[in-house]
Structures are given as C-alpha cells and as structure tokens.
C-alpha cells in the first residue's frame, strides 16, 4: 500500500494524528494530499455540516464550546474547524479558543482545529472545504465551522455548511446593518447571544422583521425550508420553460408565504436567544439546528443544497485556475503587447480580447495536461 492509501485508511479508521497530519497538508496546499483526498471521497456525505458565523467577539467560540457539549450529551462525535483568516502571525484568538474549548481536549470523540492559510481567502475556503471532507470521512457526525462573518469572503467559507447559524448580539446596531447587507440571506437559524445584556429582545424583533420582509419579498427560498418544499410540491405547468423552473418555484414559494402571512401564520427561520457563557438557551439552539437538518432531509432539500454548493465550489475552483493562468508572466506580457496594439489602433479592444481569450484557453488546456 502506498503512502497516500495508507494515510486514507488511517483517517477512515479514526486515527486522530493521521487526520491532523492530513489537515496540515491541506493548510500547506501540499499537492501530495490530493491522492488521499480522492480516496476518502467515497466515505464523505454522512456528516451534518454546521456553519457558525457572526461579528467578531459575538461569542461564537464560547457558543461552539457549549454546542459541542450538548452534542456530546446526544452521543454525537463532533469536529470543529475554527477559521482564522488573520493567522498564522497573530494567533491571539486561537489561543483564546484553546482555553475556551480546553475541556474537550481529553474527549476522543471531539476534534478541534484552527485553520489558517498564508494565502488569500479563496485558499481558505478551499482548505476549509477539504478539511471538512476529511473529518466527514473520519466519521465525525457533526462538523462545526466557526468563522467571523463580516463580508463576502467569509460567506464563501461557510457556504459548504448544510445549516448556517448566524450569531448577533445586543448593542451592536451597526453590525445588524452589516448582517442585513451581506450575510443575512445565508442564515438558517438565528441566534442572539449575550442575552444577559440589555436589548436582546429588541434585536430578536429586528431580525424577525427583516426575515419577514425578506421571506415575503421572495428574497431567498433558503430562508424557509417549509416554503421551498411546499413550492417544490406544486406542479409546474408545461407552459413554463425548463430554464425558468427555479424562478417559477421561487415565485411559488413567495406566493405560499404571502398566503400564510395573510392568515397570520408566516413560517420564519427560528430566532433564539442564548447566554453562551452560562449555556442558557444552548439546548434549544441545538434542537433548532437539528430540526433544520431533519427538515432538509425530509423534504429532499439537502441533496439540492449540496448540489448547489458543490456546483458553486467547482465554478470557484475553475475561476481560481483561470486566474492563475491569467497571472502567468507570459500572459502578462501578451496583455501588455495587446494593449499597445489597441492604443496604436493596430487592432480594437474586442479583437484583442478575443485573441487573449484564445491564448488563455490554449494555456489552460496545456496546464491541464
Ligand atoms: N456577557 C456575555 N459575554 C459573553 C457571552 N458569550 C461570550 N461572551 C464573552 O464574549 C467574549 C468573546 O467571546 P468569543 O467566544 O471569543 O467570541 P467569538 O465570536 O468567537 O470571537 P472571535 O472568534 O474573535 O470573532 C468573551 O470574553 C466571552 O467570554 C454571553 O452570553 N454573555
Ligand atoms: Mg472565536
């Protein structure tokens, strides 16, 4: 048996050191990891992947620690991947997390790992995705991804989760705005942490109001498993062109939501309060997370969501490869030459673009083989 197959076998058997070693290879972007990842692929797809995101300092790590305990009470094996985009040079947060989650360190059924890459955030979402798949193949039942949620690149990181928990806290008015702007639409379960502070109930009301508007506007079917699944059951008339089926179903979900609203029974994603420090509310939070998973499975939406996420990941990986071809020195000088040709009126912009695209395609194919 070669080294890659041996490593895969150890990971599958639940060997923690082998798993940690493979994740280190992933962090380093070590090409030799790929064979092992390919072998492990057959054993992925079992775990419930949970994303936890929210503003810095909102209590994600404290909450994660308590969620881990609750999942352990339920006899689940749990892995945590904490994303640290600022690392490996600062490391302060990681140290804090180590202390915070220390009590799980002797529990063999809990695996906690901070993930950092030196590269750009795109590299981080690649590494996260690979690490999660490794942990899935290693047999962890629940895999939690903890990441600071402030913008698009962080959203990318949690995109591979089945269930996304959005954490907010009282007394951060502007952060609610930030959540509203970019991150709101990805939440499946909403958690207002630090409920021991003033204003938690107001934040709950604000979030519910935002969700209501969003669901009624049909902003995203991701918001409601219920409406998406009811819409999926509604027959699509023959007159609707296949390429607009998604659009039709979103419209149907929107329509059903409106009807429910008119009857005063609009179904919104859960918005819960917690005090992570004492553990208050954590059991209900875990119930909501698990109810979301059950809903995804029973409606068939889990498969759809995973397919969408994977298709997105493939597109992103392809774009990364194209970008690396584009950034090649040879390509750069070709672009400079084309720019001169356009400026000197030897060609026009669109002809130059076509030419660049052709050379790009050729280089891309050459890189592949
Ligand atoms: N009052 C109060 N403080 C809390 C609660 N939960 C967490 N904290 C405190 O908030 C601070 C930040 O908690 P963390 O769990 O590190 O927050 P985080 O979101 O993981 O932070 P980053 O990973 O740095 O973004 C710590 O001092 C916690 O003790 C809570 O429910 N109430
Ligand atoms: Mg943290």
pLDDT at 173 (0 to 100): 62
Over residues 99-124, mean pLDDT: 75
Confidence of residue 144 (pLDDT cuts 50, 70, 90): very high
Q: Which residues have a Cβ under 8 Å from the Cβ of 272 and sit 6 or more positions away? A: 189, 190, 191, 192, 281, 284, 285, 288
Could you tell me which residues are beta bridge partners of residue 272? 191
* Residues linked to residue 52 through DSSP beta bridges, in sequence order: 146, 165
**Measuring from each residue's beta carbon to the nearest atom of ligand 1, which residues come in under 6 Å?**
56-62, 93, 96, 148, 193-194, 196-197, 275-277
Q: Which residue has the higher pLDDT, 98 or 159?
A: 159
CA 342/CA 332 separation, integer angstroms:
15
What b/e string do you get for 50-60 counting C-beta neighbours within 10 Å, with b at 16 or more? bbbbbbeebbb
Atom of ligand 1 nearest to the CA of 280: 31
- Predicted confidence (pLDDT) at residue 233 exceeds the cutoff of 90: no
Write down the pLDDT at residue 88.
42
Q: What spacing in Å lies between the alpha carbon of 134 and ligand 1's midpoint?
A: 28
Model confidence pLDDT, tens digit, residues 244-290? 777 777 777 777 777 777 777 777 889 999 999 999 999 999 999 99
Q: Return d(Cα 16, Cα 21) in angstroms, integer.
A: 9
Stronger pLDDT, 71 or 116, i.e. the higher one: 71
Q: Name the residue with higher pLDDT: 19 or 367.
A: 19
Q: Which pLDDT does position 183 carry in this prediction?
A: 65
Delimit the domains of the chain by residue range. Answer: 1-39, 44-224+268-300, 328-368
β-sheet with 189-192: strand ranges across: 110-115, 78-83, 142-148, 48-54, 163-168, 189-192, 271-273
Query: Atom 13 in ligand 1: which residue has the minimum CA distance?
Result: 59
Among 32-41, 180-189, 283-292, name the one with the lowest average pLDDT. 180-189
Long-range Cβ pairs for the range 17-23 (8 Å, 24+): 19/111, 19/134, 19/135, 19/138, 20/113, 22/134, 23/113, 23/115, 23/131, 23/134
Task: Check residue 90 and give its pLDDT.
Answer: 38
Percent of the chain with pLDDT over 70: 85
54-58, 70-74, 160-164, 234-238: the lowest-pLDDT one: 234-238
pLDDT of residue 219: 59
CATH number of 44-224+268-300: 3.40.50.300
pLDDT, residue 363, reads: 85
pLDDT at residue 141 above 90? Answer: yes
Q: Choose which residue among 52, 54, 61, 62 to substitute to test ligand 1 binding: the one with the highest number of ligand atoms within 8 A of its C-beta.
A: 62
pLDDT score at 101? 62
pLDDT surpasses 70 at 215: yes
Q: Please tell me the residue having the least CA distance from ligand 1 atom 32.
A: 194
Taking a C-beta distance cutoff of 8 angstroms, is the pair 166, 179 a contact? yes
Q: What integer pLDDT is reported at residue 21 of this predicted model?
A: 96
Taking the centre of ligand 1 as the mean of its atom positions, its distance from the CA of residue 179, in whole angstroms, is 18
Lookup: tokens for 235: 């027959």
Q: In this structure, what DSSP letter does residue 144 have? A: E
The answer on pLDDT for 10 being more than 70 is yes
pLDDT grade for 294, boundaries at 50, 70 and 90: very high
pLDDT of residue 108: 86
User: What number is the average pLDDT over the span 163-180?
Assistant: 75
- For the stretch 352-362, pLDDT in tens is 999 999 998 88
**At residue 223, does pLDDT exceed 50?**
yes
Q: How confident is the model at residue 120 (pLDDT cuts 50, 70, 90)?
A: low
- How far is ligand 2, taken at its centre, from the CA of residue 73, in Å? 22
Give the closest residue (by CA) to ligand 1 atom 8. 59
Would you state the pLDDT for residue 149? 72
């Amino acid at each position: 048996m070669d080294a890659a197959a041996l490593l895969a076998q150890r990971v599958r058997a639940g060997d923690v050191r082998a798993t940690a070693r493979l994740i280190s290879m992933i962090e380093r972007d070590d090409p030799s990891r790929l064979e092992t990842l390919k072998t492990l692929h057959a054993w992925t797809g079992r775990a419930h992947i949970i994303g936890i995101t929210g503003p810095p300092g909102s209590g994600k790590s404290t909450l994660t620690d308590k969620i881990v305990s609750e999942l352990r009470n339920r006899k689940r094996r749990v892995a945590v991947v904490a994303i640290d985009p600022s690392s490996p040079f600062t490391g302060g947060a990681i140290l804090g997390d180590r202390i915070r989650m220390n009590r799980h360190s002797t529990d063999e059924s809990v695996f906690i790992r901070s993930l950092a890459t030196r590269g750009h955030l795109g590299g981080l979402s690649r590494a996260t995705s690979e690490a999660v798949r490794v942990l899935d193949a290693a047999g962890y039942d629940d895999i939690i991804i903890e990441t600071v949620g402030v913008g698009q690149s962080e959203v990318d990181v949690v995109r591979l989760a089945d269930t996304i928990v959005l954490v907010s806290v009282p007394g951060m008015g502007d952060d609610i705005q930030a959540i509203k702007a970019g991150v709101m639409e990805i939440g499946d379960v909403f958690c207002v942490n630090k409920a021991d502070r003033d204003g938690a109930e107001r934040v709950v009301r604000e979030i519910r109001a935002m969700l209501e508007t969003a669901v009624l506007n049909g902003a995203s079917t991701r918001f409601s498993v219920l409406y998406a699944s009811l819409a999926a059951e509604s027959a699509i008339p023959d007159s609707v062109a296949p390429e607009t089926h998604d659009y039709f179903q979103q419209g149907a979900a929107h329509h059903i939501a409106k009807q429910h609203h008119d009857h005063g029974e609009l179904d919104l994603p859960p918005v819960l309060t917690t005090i992570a420090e004492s553990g208050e509310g954590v059991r209900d939070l875990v119930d909501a997370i698990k109810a979301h998973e059950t809903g995804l499975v029973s409606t068939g939406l889990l498969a759809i969501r995973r397919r969408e996420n994977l298709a997105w990941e493939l597109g992103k990986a392809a774009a990364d490869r194209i970008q690396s071809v584009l950034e090649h020195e040879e390509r750069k000088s070709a672009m400079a030459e084309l720019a001169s040709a356009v400026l000197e009126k030897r060609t026009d912009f669109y002809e130059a673009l076509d030419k660049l695209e052709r050379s790009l395609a050729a280089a891309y194919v050459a890189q592949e083989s």
